[in-house]
Amino acid sequence: MPTKTLRITTADGRADAFVAFPEHGERHPGVLMYPDGFGIRPVLREMARELAGHGYCVLVPNLFYRHGPAPVIDLPEHIGEEVRPALMARLMPLIEAHTADRALSDADAYLAFLTARPEVAAGPVAVTGYCIGGLLAVRTASAHPGRVSAVAAFHAPVGAAGPDALAGLTAQVHFGHAESDLTPEALGELNQALDVAGVSHTSEIYPGTLHGFTMADTDAFDPAGLRRHWDRLLPLLDRALAGN
């Protein structure tokens, strides 16, 4: 699977990013994949390669490039619960500094870079994300209704995007929630807001899952949850990007 580490010029500097392409050389639909707060690391590279193997050009940016190249903080091979509090204490200032304005400015640069790649087919792209990356995916899709035709978010605080962002969505949507993150009542309220906004969506709690269930390098990892994620994500991309 061809991969590259590239730099993207943004309004505030240069963001490092990981890119994975299908093996065969023709142009393929583009997918912007936002990582979780722990950023670009082996598990994210593997997920990008997996998605590229299904026929997509996948761009994974370093969300916190303003603070240095990925990994911005040192990470163990396995992010267990015993180290998570200390890691989150170091990450939270970076997350808090990544304002909505910064995120949207970066999204402009990421989408322009992705769609200009010679490997990427003309037409709309998809955006997917994990944890905080899922929130960024929603905001990106809402801000670029003509350019993003599918958005997926997993164990993500998508409600924090606000009703205006949800109402601005024209992309097809899938939200996969961790059971530990969302009550059935909160899910019902979120889905009602999507219905009122006229958003084509599926939004569900993945049974028995904890926050971070897609990430194989954490204690929250759930193999069944990860399979369900692929079972929902791949048909969504196929429907939304089939014409590219």
For 37-62, what is the mean pLDDT?
97
Q: What distance in Å separates the CA atoms of residue 111 and residue 121, rounded to the nearest whole number?
A: 13
Positive or negative, the Cα torsion across 223, 151, 169, 110? positive
At residue 27, the pLDDT reads: 95
Res 2: pLDDT: 83
Tell me the percentage of the chain whose pLDDT exceeds 70. 100
At residue 23, does pLDDT exceed 90?
no
What is the structure's pLDDT at 15?
98
Query: Distance between CA atoms of 119 and 214, rounded to whole angstroms?
Result: 27
Q: Which of 36-50, 60-74, 134-148, 155-169 has the lowest mean pLDDT?
A: 155-169
pLDDT of 174 strictly over 80: yes
Give residue 98's pLDDT.
96
Mean pLDDT of 160-165: 90
For residue range 50-78, list pLDDT tens digits in order: 999 999 999 999 999 999 999 999 999 99
**Tokens encoding 122:** 């003309």
Closest listed residue to residue 36, CA positions, set 213, 230, 228: 213
pLDDT band at 47, cuts 50/70/90?
A: very high
The rounded distance, in Å, linking the Cα atoms of 193 and 176 is: 16
What are the Cα distances from residue 127, in Å, to 71, 85, 136, 173? Answer: 22, 29, 9, 10
pLDDT single digits (tens) 192-243: 999 999 999 999 999 999 999 999 999 999 999 999 999 999 999 999 998 7
What's the pLDDT band for 129 if we cut at 50, 70, 90? very high
Determine if the pTM surpasses 0.85: yes
| pLDDT of 155 higher than 90 | yes
**What would the mean pLDDT of 108-131 be, rounded to a whole number?**
97
Residue 171 reports pLDDT greater than 90: yes
Instruction: State residue 24's pLDDT score.
Output: 79
What does residue 124 show for φ and ψ, rounded to 5 degrees?
A: -70, 165
**pLDDT average, residue stretch 112-130:** 96
Kindly state the average pLDDT of the residues 89-118. Answer: 96
The domains of the chain, with CATH numbers, are 3-241 (3.40.50.1820)
